[in-house]
Chain A
Amino acid sequence: MKLRKKLALLIGIFELSLVFLTSGCKTPPAPPEVEQALLQEQALWGAGGSIYAPGEFQRYEHDLAEARKVLKQEELKIGLFRNYDRVRDNFRQVLQEGERIDSLIKSKKAALSQVIESRRESLHTKYETLDKLSLQINQRSFSRNHLSQADILFKEVDRLLAGSKYDEAKNRLDKIANLLDQAESVLRQQLKRYMDQAQITEWRRLAERAIEKSKASGQTVILICKLERTLTVYRAGQPVKTYEVGLGFNGLNDKLHAGDDATPEGNYQVTKKIGASKYDKGLLINYPNEEDIKKFNEAKKMGYITSATRIGGLIEIHGGGKDGLTKGCIALDDREMDELFKMIQPGTPVTIVGTTDPNNKIIGILKTV
């Protein structure tokens, strides 16, 4: 009987020990900071930690790896002997550093975004100016080709910025800057005479002489300013009427030869009134004059134009609409042409200049670019 009691006692002690041991060996859970740090690392990576804070993110990754090693060492211990205090401290430090890096990434991204947005704005202002200018001068030019490409790239930049893809956006902005420089260069080349004060002075002199002549003789003269797209009728030196006119694809250039679509510059006169021109009524002028022929021959001699090139002619002031594009003629709206046709007689002097304004719109616009 005694033996049975002893045995039962022993079994009881054994079972109690077993319960104690199992509960004591129960693996304590890893501190929540471990999981938080893993999620934080994913978030920082996703936010571009390696791009926007490379040094800090590398150190963070290193510290996290070290913290994980300590965790691993602790996990290898039997449950009863595990102590996560050091692990918790390590991961807390990592989390703190992660928060600092997160702020750093955000501030760097914001700064970068601001720089890129500001560059985009500045380039877009330039784009708008050049676009407006190219439309205003109404010239056939490669500038619109470049501008159109730049516009497409602006759309791409906006998409990239929306997706926080700053590097790619920056790359597109570099391309845009290049295209805008090319467009500007084309326009400046085309319009350089309109920014040249010596040339403008010469045009002014031509215009002033024509007006003085009208004043002195009481004669009617026509003054055409190509840049301003105006045709003014002067009588006895006084402006009687001003009309808006249209030119050709290359109207701002001085005509040199047939087919260049340029409008001639200089002193001419109306040689013939054409009642039924192809474009309503027409006033034929004596292009080419002596000076034009001299200039044409010199250009041929210098090899600027081929020997087969002809000087052209049949330059008229005609109707058809000021918004149309001519091949070198000066176009008015039909109603206004009818009015002018009545006022002008053959022999009327016609002076055509680029501009008389030393502060003309081209200078104004290109100054802002």
Chain B
Amino acid sequence: MKNLMKISVLGLLVVFLFTSCAKQPTQLINDSKAAIEAVVKAGGDVYAKDELKKLNDDYTAAMDEVNAQAKKLFKKYGKAKEMLAKVKTDADSVAQLIPARKEEAKNNAINAQNEAKAAFDAAKALLDKAPKGKGTKADIEAMKSDLAGLEAQLSEVQASIDQEDYFGAKDKALSIKEKADAISEQVNAAIQKVKGTR
């Protein structure tokens, strides 16, 4: 009788132990999900695209583990918990990376904007002092109109920066610089043309 009691208590203890381990890690699931959402909100799909993809994959793998355990009689969520905790830690790390990357992109865009502006100003200054002699006046007037177009696009660079489209802003600024440099070259060629006719 005594032995039967002991076995029963032991059995209950085992059942208790198993059921206590059988709870789905709901809090951890929610936390890791929230951490991934925070990455997306911080601009992860732009500044940490690959990392975000990996986080989503790891989260899916962790949830596969949770679901697999959920179907078992003796549930062990230890591994799933570890996986979810890692997702959360990784997501937090990625979220911390984003501001620096964003700042870097912003700085790159601003640098490119400054370079484009400098190239534009140089072309404008060159045009202003270019001799409007024989054979150059019409060319120079055409180039002035071209510069007006560049100026319009320069203001779009600022608009892109304001909208935090730093990659787009940088691309546009690079194109403006290229065109402004080409205009400067044309002005210099026109100046040489005038010198040559003298």
Query: Residues on A close to B: CB < 8 A?
Result: 41-42, 45-46, 65, 68-69, 72-73, 76, 134-135, 138, 140-142, 144-149, 151-153, 155-156, 159-160, 168, 246, 249, 320-321, 323-325, 333
Contacts and interface: CB of A to CB of B under 8 A. Distances in A.
A142 B149 CA distance: 9
A249 B141 contact: yes
A79 to B, nearest CB: 16
Contacts of A141: 145
Contacts of B65: 72
Nearest to B180: A152
Given A76-B68, A159-B171, A160-B171, A148 B138 contact: no
A329 B81 CA distance: 87
Nearest to A68: B64
A321 B67 CA distance: 86
Given A148-B148, A149-B149, A249-B141, A159 B174 contact: yes
B150 interface: yes
B39 interface: no
Identify which of A134, A156, A249, A320 gathers the most chain B CB atoms within 10 Å of its CB: A156
A156 B136 contact: no
Nearest to B67: A69
Given A148-B179, A156-B172, A159-B175, A323 B153 contact: no
A156 B176 CA distance: 9
A65 B150 contact: no
A152 B156 CA distance: 12
A148 B175 contact: no
A323 B137 contact: yes
A273 to B, nearest CB: 23
Contacts of A73: 68, 71
A281 B132 CA distance: 20
A155 B179 CA distance: 9
List of 6 A-B pairs having minimum Cβ-Cβ separation, nearest first: A148-B149, A144-B145, A321-B134, A155-B175, A323-B135, A72-B68
